[in-house]
Amino acid sequence: MGHIIPLFEFAMHLVTQHNIQVTFLVITTESAHAQNDYIKSFNPHPNFHIVNLPPADMSGLLASDMTDVARLSVIVQESIRPLVSILSKLKGPKLKALIIDMFSTDVFDVCKELYIPIYSFFTTSTEILAFALYLPTLDQEVEGEFMDLLKPVNVPGCNPIRIQDLMDQVRNRKIDEYKWFYLHFSRLPMATGIFVNTWDDLDPVSLKALEHEPFFLNIPTPPVYYPIGPLTKKIEPVLTEYEKEIMAWLGKQPKDSVLYVALGSGGTLTSEQLTELAWGLEMSKQRFIMVVRKPSDYAAAGYFNAGSGSDDPKAYLPEGFAERTNRVGLVVSSWAPQVKTNYLN
């Protein structure tokens, strides 16, 4: 969801603000409930077309212990096999360009015969983009693991990155997740340009480095970076019955008194961490809305079932927690209407 929302909003900006005809290609294989509901929530527009890529046969390709980036990369790899054929059948003006997600770099290989510019859309910060472009150099220069380095990683022109702040996916170069990250990041120079979901005042240091630092000027990176953010989710305030219950509870609380606790579109805690968080909230006496997912030892275990809401959160919380905090707290299963809450409140 952290990728598809800004991509979708970017597409809508191109349509509504620049009068560009856009076809939005959706990978349907193992799509989350939240993704499906989000896409269905948009009203049709004559210059905006949604095309669902047919579900790919993933038999024997996915394992239960695969990390999210590895799983996502394999799904993309299989889903885009018919992409050229699908693009050739699109109606309307001639295809001028493709804009791809940062984890969809296999498109460079699949679509090389189309001879059209392909742009990368980088959903995270320019600091991570600078690190991504620097990663192949770092990989060559460092022996052993990055997590064993004694000094911070100095991406040219950027703020030093403490070793403990490195992404989990790059801390161990022996795991599949690192190999996928390295593959996608090393392909970034193949893009005609890179769109970044940021703006100048948010990432001034790293944006300046990308544009002026000799290191980035001397490696084959795309010639243009476009800071096009912030792209945030905008949606009509139409509420489901489940969401109405949340809003009704929120409406009874004093203004600016409720703490919202969530871990993003797919983040999870271990059982021990979730218990500690619950005890901390209860002891604080603070009013709260807490989004609870099934505990997992893997921090991002909820990305492929975001919005499913099929589990009872009480099963994962300390016994009696929901009953003891029912006057000041609300426990929500899996997914909460955060933007709608802000919009209506």
Q: What is the DSSP string of 270-295?
A: -HHHHHHHHHHHHHHT-EEEEEE---
Task: Answer yes or no: 212 catalytic.
Answer: no
CA within 13 Å, CB half, 126: 29
Distance between CA 189 and CA 172 in Å, rounded?
A: 24
Where do we find the tokens 């299963």? 333
Distance between CA 238 and CA 148 in Å, rounded?
A: 50
Distance of CA 220 to the CA centre of its chain: 26
SS3 content of the chain, % helix, strand, coil (to 5): 40, 15, 45
Which pair of structure tokens corresponds to residue 308?
């499913």
Q: Which of 68, 101, 106, 203 is catalytic?
A: 101
Closest to 50 in 3D by CA, of 12, 17, 76, 13: 12
Task: Answer yes or no: 101 catalytic.
Answer: yes
Work out the angle between the directed axes of helices 176-186 and 126-141 (0-180°, nearest 10): 110
Q: Which of 3, 68, 184, 203 is catalytic?
A: 3
Q: Are 295 and 274 in contact (CB under 8 A)?
A: yes
The residues assigned a catalytic role are 3, 101
